[in-house]
């Protein structure tokens, strides 16, 4: 079993950071959701990135559990 991250995982995370910036800009600035404030845009970006980090931690834990069998 593979119990470590691959280059694809790291590339996906890097792309997700860029997508998070783009999504938060589009949602907050272009469409004016959540009042269109810069603080809201930053908060949304941080939330999207931290959500993906939690996913990566869960994946690492799951790979660790699977490798024990």
Tell whether the model's pLDDT for residue 10 goes beyond 90.
no
Asked if 34 and 44 count as a contact pair (C-beta separation under 8 A), the reply is yes
The answer to the question of residue 1 being in a domain is: no
Count of the separate structural domains present in the chain? 1
Q: What's the pLDDT score for residue 3?
A: 59
In a domain, 15, yes or no: yes
Q: Are 63 and 1 in contact (CB under 8 A)?
A: yes
Task: Quote the DSSP letter at residue 29.
Answer: I
Is 55 contained in some domain? yes
Backbone angles phi, psi at 5, to 5 degrees: -80, 150
**What average pLDDT score do residues 17-33 get?**
91
Per-residue pLDDT tens over the stretch 27-58: 998 888 888 889 999 999 999 999 988 988 88
Does the residue 18 lie in any domain?
yes
Is a pLDDT exceeding 60 seen at residue 2?
no
For 7-23, letters b (16+ CB in 10 Å) and e give eeeeeeeeebeeebbee
Residue 24: give the domain boundaries. Answer: 7-67
pLDDT bin (cut points 50, 70, 90) of residue 26 is very high
Provide the pLDDT confidence category of residue 19 given band limits of 50, 70 and 90: very high
Structural domain contains residue 38: yes
């Amino acid at each position: 079993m593979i119990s470590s991250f691959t280059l694809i995982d790291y590339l996906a995370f890097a792309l997700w950071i860029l997508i998070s910036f783009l999504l938060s800009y589009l949602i907050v600035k272009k469409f004016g959701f959540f009042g269109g404030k810069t603080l809201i845009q930053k908060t949304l970006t941080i939330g999207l990135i931290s959500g993906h980090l939690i996913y990566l931690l869960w994946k690492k834990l799951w790979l660790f559990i699977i490798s024990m069998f």
